[in-house]
Chain A
């Protein structure tokens, strides 16, 4: 096979190149995004395949995994400086975007629903670091960071939240309906649990066409009790669909804690005959290693697998939920102090001497400025043209649509 680390270091060079291009473009781009360059952070090696570990990677201990019907992997991750810096950067972009969204909502510029993901960034980034844009992804409504992880920019995401034409869905979807079809991100789905059969269908199509791709289907601890989840998992197991079911367990389904909603709170076992693994959702490396195992399993034709990511959301369920009637302020403060995903990656970087506190703060400040600029730009962007009301109802368009009155729609529906 030739010298493995030589082969590998070429891959590392390519990876670093794409990282730099992608990240800078992701953070700096201010166009309605059609860019496929993204903060796509490749994992470049797996603790499961030691011969692929990068030469300059360092071994990091992780919290132990829990598994169901599958061998428990060693709780370690091999990561390089480039990778950790990339994860820090991407998670910071996500964190700043969510903070912007919070402020825009409080200023009543974002309307309707707004479900924020801050605290959970490591899950989104850890997943993306173990898959590619050939793999499909779908999730529910708490999806701003998945849209960013799939290659979109804060400008486009915030535009959509503001209902502007520069939004990823031309302003017609809003916070819950972000999509990036060119990078196989299928939303952004508002009905709890509905995305799970949809994601199973994405996997069905990958298997049908024998692509070798997987579908990552995300859902929460609340959605885990939807009947359609069990239906979908049954079919996935029966037909060995290449589906990774990611249960983001952030401890609360809206205001109901897991122990008040689920008789079995070991969500990684809820696939019954489907194997599962539980990872630390606040640690991007734990998510990454679990996802690598899961992706390899699903890709190999063995069938579906469940990955439970134990995580935490700092905000309430949505912007109309202060998040304090069902949990204590102390609990939130404790999680921020003890388990913040960005702080964890930073402490690892600093421990290895890969950067300094000052440099990391400078990066964060730069990102904050860039996101703030994009926020201002999104606020200035225009609303969709009125004709957009009647577009995209059908693929080929439609000439006659009834409005609120017989004669104020498009064309003449009585013709």
Chain B
């Protein structure tokens, strides 16, 4: 009986401590990174935000529920209590308004981090992102800098249906003047977000809701306050000679699983984690394709005019074209609005089986003597 009441008391105390406004009690961090090296992506993002807020007074966070609610996905947990309402700004539901406000603040000396609850809602504000943020530095001949970060979850979650599931990597990736990054693991989350915040240009950070809860071991170097990942460089997660897989965000993990499976058959895949959609590290992809002669791209967004389309074009435009032993395969979301029912929802998103099949298609396209070499 006392154990039950103790549990109720502990939950109540935790809620009290989390919800009390700044100044009324001591600051309370649920996850102290210095003690943990197995870190969830949401906490990796949280620590990056915390460190950058501490480092530079001009950094602030603007968005819906970022403050008192602790963040719709808890990415900004604890920051309101630590930094107060001047720096963690809860907005009304006014995407176009608060995005423009954040961009104007960036014109005038602040370094805002504008959070979208999901990037689906950023469509309300896309004019401010593209026409006000991305293009201003160019249009004014370099007089004005726009050091702003637009961040939030992107792409499909689970069972949230058509209006809440779109991937915007291709749309933002097309725009000169923007930088676009897509972290996969906790290390990416820390390094890319910190780089984005310190970057003097507008940077779109496409996070992933499913990955928020996934944990990864982090080294001391990744946990250090000045750990930065350069924007524009991809990471080779796994080296291999037989096939190149290129992906970003959550599906990098799927690619690694497929690579492990194929390794048991003697097929060694090179898995490239793009990390940056724009600038895209075409050089790393091209060098890899020249080595492996086979390419599979993997993304969750709509198939047409997508990231895979762009990578295909880059291969054909480069001398990597002559090194292909088979046509490239794209694995993408299906060309349908995301359905709700579980069985057809699964068919709309790329699966491990899909990626494996794509790899086999590319390998089968190889001429017989190449196949013998691969074994």
Question: Is B128's CB under 8 angstroms from A197's CB?
Answer: yes
A177 to B60, CA, bound (A): 28
A204–B104 CB distance below 8 A: yes
Q: Which of B103, B128, B132, B143 contacts A169 (CB 8 A)?
A: B143
Cβ–Cβ < 8 Å partners of A231 in chain B: 92, 94, 96-98
Q: How large is the interface on A (under 10, 10 to 19, 20 to 34, 35 or more residues)?
A: 35 or more
Are A235 and B132 closer than 8 Å at their CB atoms?
A: no
- Closest-by-CB residue of B relative to A185 is B143
- Taking CB atoms, residues of chain B closer than 8 Å to A234 are 92, 94, 97
Known contacts A232-B97, A393-B177; decide if A201 and B142 are in contact (CB<8 Å).
no
Q: Which of B93-143 contact A (CB under 8 A)?
A: 94, 96-110, 127-128, 131-132, 136-143
| Separation of A391 and B97 alpha carbons in the complex (Å) | 30
- How many chain B residues touch the partner (CB < 8 A)? 46
Known contacts A194-B100, A198-B132, A415-B283, A395 near B137 by CB under 8 Å = yes
B337 contacts which chain A residues (CB < 8 A)?
A: none
Say yes or no for B149: interface residue by CB 8 A criterion: no
A118 contacts partner chain B, Cβ-Cβ < 8 Å: no
Taking CB as reference atom, which chain A residue is nearest B179?
A394
Q: How many Å lie between the Cα of A54 and that of B217 in the bound state?
A: 72
Q: Which residue of B lies closest to A171 (CB)?
A: B141
Contact A172 B139 (CB under 8 A): yes
Contact A173–B137 (Cβ < 8 Å): no
Q: Which residue of A lies closest to B109 (CB)?
A: A205
Report whether A197 and B97 are in contact in the complex, using a CB–CB cutoff of 8 Å.
yes
Q: B176 to A393, Cβ gap below 8 A?
A: yes
**Residue in B109, B139, B279 with the greatest tally of chain A CB atoms within 10 Å:** B139
Q: Which residues of A contact B143 (CB under 8 A)?
A: 168-169, 179-182
Q: Does residue B145 face the partner (Cβ distance < 8 Å to A)?
A: yes
B309 at the interface (CB under 8 A from A): no
Chain A residues whose CB sits within 8 angstroms of the CB of B97 once the complex forms: 197, 200, 228, 230-232, 234-235
Known: A190-B131, A231-B92, A395-B145. A204 touches B101 (CB 8 A): yes
A17 within 8 A of B: no
Known contacts A181-B140, A228-B96, A393-B138; decide if A194 and B132 are in contact (CB<8 Å): yes
Bound state CA distance, A361 and B176, in angstroms? 50
Is A127 positioned at the interface, with any CB of B under 8 Å from its CB?
no
Minimum C-beta distance from A215 to chain B (A): 8
A interface residues with partner B (beta carbon < 8 Å): 136, 138, 167-173, 177, 179-182, 184, 186-191, 194, 196-206, 208-209, 215, 227-228, 230-232, 234-235, 238, 391-396, 398, 400-401, 406, 413-415
